[in-house]
Structure 1
Amino acid sequence: MAAISFQSVSKAYPSPKSSKSSERPGTFLALDAVSLDIQEGEFFGLLGPNGAGKTTMISVLAGLTRATSGRVSVLGHDVQADFAAARRALGVVPQELVFDPFFNVRELLRIQSGYFGVKNNGAWIDELLESLGLADKANANMRQLSGGMKRRVLVAQALVHKPPVIVLDEPTAGVDVELRQTLWQFIAKLNREGHTVLLTTHYLEEAEALCGRIAMLKTGRIVALDKTSDLLKAASSNVLRFKLDAEMPKALADKARITGRIVQFPANDALEIERYLAAVREAGLVAQDIEIRKADLEDVFLDVMTQNKDSVHGVGAVA
């Protein structure tokens, strides 16, 4: 049985009215016939640029949004027809910081337990507080916590009823390194114990390190779906990386990925590497801190996203 199943799921929203009064508003497809199965015990990554439809998928999964068509289930429970069982099996950490300012951390976790009918949950709450670095904040009012601490509480709230399926929607956005390390150690432990984890993140190194399989979403459609290792194998074998203190000619810059002073070129062999370096020299530029590295998930992601929007890449991908 799949832990999470999307079967031909579409979600349409009314598009804004046209500026021409004679034209009627149409529809915008946030999700376009998405089909995806995530097996029990997987650590699965869902990646895509802003607006790709990731949060819409999670909203449909959590029952916050109703799909226009298709079916979504959690451990076999339809999220609409059998919503109570589906909700009990799911723990969702949202992007937004949502909290009740009238209670302290421990009280919030007790109240959250009550929503799921869980009693005598003190030992697990203590373990969550300790594992997420919140033990010394247990009696602090939520208004007194920093943004990073509030996010830790959101994680604890999602896990307080011990859900078999955990959904993390960009859980480390804007948080410090300590929280990221603490969170991933704890979530990886839960995954080893059998919990299914669905992660969305813009930190692709996290997805590469943690996720066994990855789906990439673009304009509401899955454009890549494969094991992380196989996606990396399909990428260019090497990347040439160096720093420049001047601007490159446009013809050369169009082939590169440039971030500030850092320039990166995909390179399949030594001859291609030398050609790029020669072109830089011929432009009168000096490359500094030259290195050659293996392609990573960010390289794969950018390659997939720049392909034709109708193309499908990877084993098991769904148009």
Structure 2
Amino acid sequence: MSLDPKTLDWLLDTDPALRWQVQRDLLQAPPEVWQETRSRVATEGFGAELLSHQDDDGQWLGGAYFPAGYFDSPEAEEPGQPWVATTWSLKDLREWGLDASVLAGTAEELDRHSRWEYDDLPYWGGEVDVCINAFTLATGAWLGADVSRLVAWFPEHRLADGGWNCQAEEGDSTRSSFHSTLNAVRGMLAYERITGDTSLREARHAGEEYLLSRRLLYRASTGERVGEFVDQFLYPDRYRYSALAALDHFRDASDLEGTPPDHRLADAIELVRAARQSDGTWLQAGRLPGRTWFDVDVDEGERSPWLTLIGTRVLDWWDAAP
């Protein structure tokens, strides 16, 4: 671990949703230690606050991806989008480590009451957007829902270059997207980790190869940097690609499969290393616009505990490899 004691104490003085990951990933604490902290997500801090906003029908604000009535409200004209409806709330709770048993019955409630804003489709069947379907696949596996239609969906909708693109279903693109492909492989990895089902591994590996062949940073056509977003590290990143988010996925996949880091990650690693401050922290690049229930990280330009956790565990993983 490459953190000084003062910075480590700063990381440990945080919400249970972050603190248990510091204990597990940076301190290698015994399971009984970090699992006890993780159990507090349901009763303290961010997790408890978000749980308090769940509706009786299992949803948040009466909508699947957007709050009920969003498109007829003035909010629809504002920048960004709201991050407060059902899909985003469940994604946060899952990624913060909430035990699925706390949400017992939610999968069934959503099956009965929640429909996608797109074509009024049933919740656990997903819709046409690959990012939405990736979030739903992972969350459904976590809550024990029937996501068999989504398991079939990802291989069927993979593009010829190996990845996915949210715009492909509308006929607007035949090339994969960094953002969409990362969300797809993250969702499939979460599904495999939760269920043990490896049936999506081949499709996931194809998407990962799409990113690796571009060294996580570059266009295949010109070799130029794909966009400014690759080195704009922010938390929460919601759906947004960055080199740091991609590296954290490859770290997670390496842990699950017992494989070493791929050498093609080296350029992205050095990008992340260069962004580390002298005290071992990373700075928040900004916030995606849109309504939230509450703040879970710092303002732009400030030291981010979440990014420091992620950046440190990524570099520790890389530096520990032969």
TM exceeding 0.5: no
Q: Which one has more relative contact order, counting CA pairs under 8 Å at least 6 apart?
A: 1
Larger Rg: 1
TM-score normalised by structure 1 residue count: 0.25
Instruction: Give the strand-richer structure, 1 or 2.
Output: 1
